[in-house]
Structure 1
Amino acid sequence: MLSNEIRYFLAVANSGSLSAASEQLFVAVSAISRQIQRLEAQVGVPLFERHARGMVLNEAGEIFAHHVRKNMLDMEYALAEIKGLKAVRRTLIRVACTDGLAFTLLPRMIADFRAENPGVLFDIKVASTQGVGELLRSGECDVALQFSLHAERGVDVLGSWPAPVLLVMHQSHPLADAPQVTLSDINPYPLALPQQNTTVRQLFELASHMSGNLVEPVLTCDNFSTLFHFLLRTPLAVTICSAFTVLQEAEAHGLILRSVAIDQLTQRNLQLQAQSGRPRSAALNVFLTFLLQQLTALEEPLRQYWKP
């Protein structure tokens, strides 16, 4: 139901170039270029910044793309209602989350949900905290799970649970049985950290600076799976994450979680978020209810980690 101008505009906006959009749509580059120019003439302003390596939305283009995607979502919901698809049938739910939640928690919950609702399909996008918020606000996902340091604006926060930064180590680690672990205690041991665009790393850096214990990591990576498997193969190593990220895997792999007596490391929350003011399909409402129940059920086993 989209005009060619809009279809081609979105393809170029998403792919970043005329040639990439041409390969995606199986349409000649010249035809896509003409339709983009025609659309810009109708709008009255350029929508892209044109570079040698591709095309990037300018400010006007970003505004236009946001409203186009919003209208597409409204149309999809209207068509679903007209066709009577209010039941939980073959429905796609788009989820955005930060890396730690994509490690095992979200895949496990989706698998459990689909055991009862096999007609529901999922698309998961993993992004930084800022990126997850942008995906939700732009309408590119239906639900988001992310660790946040503050109340998010422009989204509906359906649930929030404390998610302090914890140390993860082997049960045989010299610090495993220490009465209390401080940041200075981990100085002698190999430290594996996520990169600095994560809330867990930002809080850890803040706590390190404020305590005067600057620790240089031996490994940094934006993929928690890499940190986890490095830890498994390095008995004296230490990494950091939330209990939500690794609780069930810790026991299975002979690992323990330890809190650190620093207030800065307790300032995160796990938030379940949805688009604000947007209609929700029946399947999405069922899934949101399921997530709330599952995450709330984890409160009791995780409560021991909420305060150092």
Structure 2
Amino acid sequence: MKMLLSPLMRYICQVAEDGSIRKASEYLHISPSAINRQIINFEELIGAPIFERLPRGMKLTDAGRVIYDIIKDFEKVSAAAVSEVSAIKGKQRGHVAIGTIQTLAGDFFPGFLARSRQDNPDISFSIFSGNTEEIVRKVVGNELDIGICWEPPEQVPIEKLKIHSMDIGVAMHPSHPLAQEPDLSLQQCRDFPIIFPADGMEIRKLLDRINVGRKTSISPAITTNAMSLIRSLALSGTGLSVTTLLSVANEVASGQLAFKNLRDVGSQHLRLAIFHRQTASLPAAARMVCDSILLALDSYLAPPRLAS
């Protein structure tokens, strides 16, 4: 909450983020000399430089990084305090930072955010779309309030609020010859072009454990890390897309795609986790948004809606 930061705090952060006193002065509408004088006075006070003054700009020193991190932590704590006070007054205000996998960012969150903004226009949001590792790192590092991604390892210091098991299967155009099968094996798919998620993605790791053997393994026609492309290729009839039901939920519900569970994975599932930092007590606005997400995801992932 920048309104609670002192001018010096804002100067330090802006110079650090822009890498330039001139750029910071333009953004803050403060003269470069005033910003520079405040920073020099602070450096003299603590007895250490917080910026390296380079030919092409300003770079935080180790001491400066410590100061910058403290200011950013104070900014987040300040926002939480304002949110709590607003809740006491009966009006929800605040900012909520959410990290989510790309599938939900494109399919679930547009509708959720539209409803949330309509119900609570004084709550602002930032949405980070990334992979599980990135989201977990940002939640643990207090950059995000809420994380939604594939389940992190047990040793990660987070509090899991809900786990959803996601079926893994094959998505295809309803006119495809295999669309009438109750379920499928990879071997049944070998005579058709097949689309796999890219190496390193959670579902690909699981696929690689079952797609083994020189005689029996299947080579995909296309691989990609873009889940939207995997879905589009199935919609266009280009091939069979191996994916989670989560990634094609809307299209399966509307009848645009057929989805068949993959027998090869057996009891293995990908587990979608909703969580926050273990040592953190969520601010009032984030708690309310988190409760709303849990309810909305329950509805979004309800079996009747996704029945194929």
The TM-score, its normalising length taken from structure 2, stands at 0.77
Match for residue 281 of structure 2 among 269, 279, 282: 279
1:121-270 correspondence to structure 2 within 5 Å: 121-148=124-151, 150-151=153-154, 153-209=156-212, 213-220=217-224, 222-233=225-236, 235-252=237-254, 254-263=256-265, 266-270=268-272
Quote the Cα distance in structure 2 between the aligned partners of 1:160 and 1:30. Answer: 53
- Shift, 1:197, TM fit: 4.3
Quote the Cα distance in structure 2 between the aligned partners of 1:197 and 1:32. Answer: 45
- Count of residues in correspondence between the two structures: 302
RMSD: 3.8
- Shift, 1:170, TM fit: 1.0
Quote the Cα distance in structure 2 between the aligned partners of 1:232 and 1:174. Answer: 14
Quote the Cα distance in structure 2 between the aligned partners of 1:12 and 1:210. Answer: 56
Change (3 A) 1:160 1:50: farther
Quote the Cα distance in structure 2 between the aligned partners of 1:27 and 1:266. Answer: 58
- Shift, 1:127, TM fit: 1.2
Cα deviation 1:194-217 (Å, max 9, x = unaligned): 433432233223332479514234
| Runs of 5+ consecutive residues of structure 2 not aligned to the other structure | none
1:82-101 correspondence to structure 2 within 5 Å: 82=85, 87-101=90-104
Q: Is this contact kept in 2: 1:149–1:269, CA < 8 A?
A: no
Cα deviation 1:34-76 (Å, max 9, x = unaligned): 7777767766777789999887778776665444322222122
| Runs of 5+ consecutive residues of structure 1 not aligned to the other structure | none
Question: Which one has the largest radius of gyration?
Answer: 2
Task: Give the percent of matched residue pairs that are identical in Structure 1 and Structure 2.
Answer: 24
Q: Is this contact kept in 1: 2:253–2:305, CA < 8 A?
A: no
Q: Is this contact kept in 1: 2:172–2:239, CA < 8 A?
A: yes
What residue identity is the alignment partner of 2:286? L
Q: Is this contact kept in 1: 2:181–2:260, CA < 8 A?
A: no
Change (3 A) 1:197 1:31: farther
Q: Does the residue aligned with 2:125 lie in a helix, a strand or coil?
A: strand
Q: Is this contact kept in 2: 1:93–1:122, CA < 8 A?
A: yes
The TM-score, its normalising length taken from structure 1, stands at 0.77
